[in-house]
Amino acid sequence: EVQLVESGGGMVQPGGSLRLSCAASGFTFSERIMDWVRQAPGKGLEWVGRIRDKANRYTTEYAASVRGRFTISRDDSKNSLFLQMNSLNTEDTAVYYCAKDSGSGKYFDYWGQGALVTVSS
Amino acid sequence: DIQMTQSPSTLSASVGDRVTITCRASQSIGALLAWYQQKPGKAPKLLISKASNLDSGVPARFSGSGSGTEFTLTISSLQPDDFATYYCQQCNTYPITFGQGTRLDIK
């Protein structure tokens, strides 16, 4: 059974940093592109970015709203995905989901339960 | 960026009704579109990929169609479990973008 479990959410002041983790199981993590998607309270879904697999040199893509502030990384030896968030502002307040790429297109066949990040003074 | 626009934003319907949600892309995306269902407090769930491919375990009352810039999600006979918010997502180019969502309420 595929499982994605996020951790590391919490409250942080504007300008601060936070690192989210996503523990994956039930599939060959090292062979899969992984993404982060967020959802502000009461709002729709916003794609944050992705990291490809080793075969694709772990290259990344980011949404313009987070590029230069957020960094996606992975540790295949620990089946883990990370999202380092710096220079946070109130607009970054959201539930952050890690999501598994299907492998046959840029869509997501499994999602974690989400981690809430609140940016507030 | 490719803009995805869903209509309607809210839809009220009854159990047994047939409902259709439309998603329009600001430029052609071929058939590279996915649909998700999300219930309050839960993660989205993949329903349909590549415009019309039903994901494993998704009931056959759900169907998707379309190509280019206009797509539809149809539920042939609404069941109580179907009342949720639905999102389309273009899978063609970066940045990946979603529609704003369609909330399906019980009438």
- What pLDDT score was predicted for residue A105? 84
What are the angstrom distances between the C-alpha of A58 and each of A38, A118, B60? 21, 29, 37
Q: Which residue of A has its CA nearest to B46?
A: A109
Q: How far is B58 from chain A, CA to nearest CA, in Å?
A: 12
**What are the pLDDT digits (tens) for A46-89?**
999 999 999 999 999 999 999 999 999 999 999 999 999 999 99
pLDDT band at B18 (very low <50, low <70, confident <90, very high): very high
What's the mean pLDDT in B17-33? Answer: 97
Name the interface residues of B facing A (CB cutoff 8 Å): 1, 32, 34, 36, 38, 42-46, 49-50, 55, 87, 89, 91-92, 94-101
- What pLDDT score was predicted for residue A59? 97
**Among the listed residues B53, B48, B50, the one whose alpha carbon sits nearest the alpha carbon of residue B36:** B48
**Among the listed residues B90, B96, B104, the one whose alpha carbon sits nearest the alpha carbon of residue B24:** B90
* CB-CB under 8 Å, B89 with A102: no
What whole-number distance in Å separates Cα of residue A12 and Cα of residue A6? 17
Q: Is A76 on the interface with B (CB under 8 A)?
A: no
What whole-number distance in Å separates Cα of residue A75 and Cα of residue B59? 36
**Among the listed residues B43, B31, B67, B53, the one whose alpha carbon sits nearest the alpha carbon of residue A3:** B43
Query: Which residue pairs from A44-47 have beta carbons closer than 8 angstroms and sit at least 24 positions apart in sequence?
Result: A44/B87, A44/B98, A44/B99, A44/B100, A44/B101, A45/B36, A45/B38, A45/B44, A45/B87, A45/B89, A45/B98, A45/B101, A46/A94, A46/B98, A47/B95, A47/B96, A47/B97, A47/B98
* CB-CB under 8 Å, B100 with A107: no
Strands A60-62 and A115-119: unpaired
**What are the pLDDT digits (tens) for A15-51?**
999 999 999 999 999 999 999 999 999 999 999 999 9
- What pLDDT score was predicted for residue B107? 87
* CB-CB under 8 Å, B95 with A47: yes
What whole-number distance in Å separates Cα of residue A57 and Cα of residue A66? 21
Q: How far is B29 from chain A, CA to nearest CA, in Å?
A: 12
